[in-house]
Amino acid sequence: MSNRLLFLGPPGAGKGTQAQLLAAERDLLHLSTGELLRAEVEAGTELGAEAQAVMARGELVSDALVLAIVRDRLISHDGGWLLDGFPRNLAQAEALSELLEELHQPIECVVLLQLDDGILLQRLLSRGRDDDNEAVISNRLEVYREQTAPLIAFYRQLGLIREVEAEGSVETVAKRVVDGLG
Ligand code: B4P
């Protein structure tokens, strides 16, 4: 059973939704960089102020900032984990590999959620978070294609990718995720 997992996929594919379910079922630490950044914004910290404007444009927050957050959480945690929305570019993926080598905790599986742009757009528009308007979503999709999608080849080459079709109900997708993990 895989206890060290990444969830990868475009914005709105349901990474957060599925990661939360699986983490609860397997008692894993669920680390969502998006959630952690939104919590910093909410708490009005200096870090949150820095992240807020970047997130509102649909761009990626600085690697150094996100890495510091993840590093802190992983170093102080004993047990399995599930990373959701991180890494989001090659620099983050390489930094994560170094950190995990240091911790002797290699990734066991990368779940890739795949979904058509049309459905992504519908899901995000109906969620209606601050960064869920059409212009910002289209920028987030572009950032995904340019910066995050290259991670698919990066992890495929390591034999870690499990592709999951993310269309259908939350329960249907959850079952596919579990089946994909074997
Ligand atoms: P995230 O918080 O990661 O959000 P997301 O990619 O937009 O959504 P996700 O795929 O998790 O979809 P969800 O389950 O919520 O990122 C937000 C921002 O934070 C980024 O743009 C960036 O600025 C910043 N950020 C985060 N991580 C970063 C990093 N590592 N480096 C730099 N910047 C970073 O689902 C979406 C909606 O669909 C929900 O309303 C949900 O209820 C619904 N849904 C889910 N599954 C469904 C299903 N099967 N059927 C119908 N609806 C479904």
Q: Establish whether residue 176 lines the binding site of ligand 1, counting it when its CB lies within 6 angstroms of any ligand atom.
A: no
**pLDDT tens-digit map of 49-102:** 999 999 999 999 999 999 999 999 999 999 999 999 999 999 999 999 999 999
Residue closest via CA to ligand 1's atom 50 equals 169
Question: In total, how many domains does the chain have?
Answer: 1
Can you tell me the distance from the alpha carbon of 95 to that of 132, in angstroms, rounded to the nearest whole number? 29
Q: What is the number of other CB atoms lying within 10 angstroms of the CB of residue 44?
A: 9
Tell me, using a 6 A CB cutoff, whether residue 34 lines ligand 1: yes
| pLDDT tens by residue, 109-147 | 999 999 999 999 999 999 999 999 999 999 999 999 999
Helices (H) and strands (E) in the chain, counts: 9, 5
Ligand 1 atom nearest to 13, measured from its CA: 10
Name the residue at shortest CA distance from atom 6 of ligand 1.
11
Q: Which residue has the tokens 């059973």?
A: 1
68 falls within a domain: no
Does residue 40 form part of some domain? no
Cα dihedral value 58, 61, 63, 67, nearest 10: -120
Q: Which phi and psi (to 5°) does residue 13 adopt?
A: -70, -20
* pLDDT value at 149 more than 80: yes
Confirm whether 46 is domain-assigned: no
- 138 within a domain of the structure (yes/no): yes
Rounded mean pLDDT of 23-47?
A: 96
What is the chain's alpha carbon radius of gyration, rounded to the nearest angstrom? 16
Where residue 106 sits, what CATH number does that domain have? Answer: 3.40.50.300
CA of 151 to the centre of ligand 1 (A): 17
Q: How many Å lie between the centroid of ligand 1 and the Cα of residue 13?
A: 7
Dihedral angle, C-alpha 154, 160, 164, 166, nearest 10 °: -50
**Is the Cβ–Cβ distance between 8 and 15 less than 8 Å?**
yes
User: Counting atoms of ligand 1 from 1, which one is nearest the CA of 33?
Assistant: 27
Q: Any alpha helices (H) in 85-169, and if so which ranges? A: 90-103, 117-127, 134-143, 150-156
Residues 1, 7: contact at Cβ < 8 Å? no
Active site residues: 15, 88, 127, 129, 140
Evaluate if residue 18 carries a pLDDT over 80. yes
What is the structure's pLDDT at 145?
97
Q: Residue 50 domain-assigned?
A: no
The pLDDT value given to residue 182: 79
Q: Could you check whether the bond before residue 87 is cis, i.e. omega within 30 degrees of 0?
A: yes
Give residue 114's Cα distance to chain centre.
13
Distance (Å, whole) CA 4 – CA 29: 9
* Structural domain harbouring 144: 4-31+81-181
Contact 85 CB / ligand 1 (< 6 Å): yes
Is 50 strand, coil or helix?
A: helix
pLDDT at 178: 96
pLDDT in tens, 1-14: 789 999 999 999 99
Q: How confident is the model at residue 27, as a pLDDT? A: 96
User: pLDDT confidence of 176, banded at 50, 70, 90?
Assistant: very high
